[in-house]
Amino acid sequence: MDIKNTNSNLANTRSHEQAKSPDKPSSANSQSEGTKPSSDKVTLTSLSAQIREIEKRAASAQSSNESRVAELKRAIEEGSYKVDASSVADKLIKTELLFARA
């Protein structure tokens, strides 16, 4: 199946259809002739409300993390930041175990 010229074929078909029936106004022309445009209706689900709430929480979490990030940057620059290798290793193992279960 050749799909390279699909859009041009579609455009040609539409132009032929419009040429055959000039008495039918297009949707763009019908609005200019005074007819009411159709109204669309959007219904938001509870999921969209949950997403909005999560976005709000994420935005506030970013601002509280900024102070922690600044504190860590300062400690690294001063050379006073100490890494607990045992804690890092334990958390890496826990993370790997969680991924292995999934």
Over residues 31-79, the pLDDT tens digits come to 555 677 788 887 778 888 899 999 988 887 777 788 888 999 999 999 9
Q: Which residues touch 72 (CB under 8 Å, ≥6 apart)?
A: 81
24: pLDDT strictly greater than 60: no
The span from the CA of 19 to the CA of 4, in Å, is: 25
Q: What is the pLDDT of residue 45?
A: 83
| Average pLDDT of the chain, as a whole number | 77
Q: Considering only residues 93 and 63, tell me which one the structure prediction assigns the higher pLDDT.
A: 93
Q: What is the pLDDT of residue 38?
A: 80
Q: Which residues touch 4 (CB under 8 Å, ≥6 apart)?
A: none
In this structure, which amino acid lies at residue 26?
Answer: S
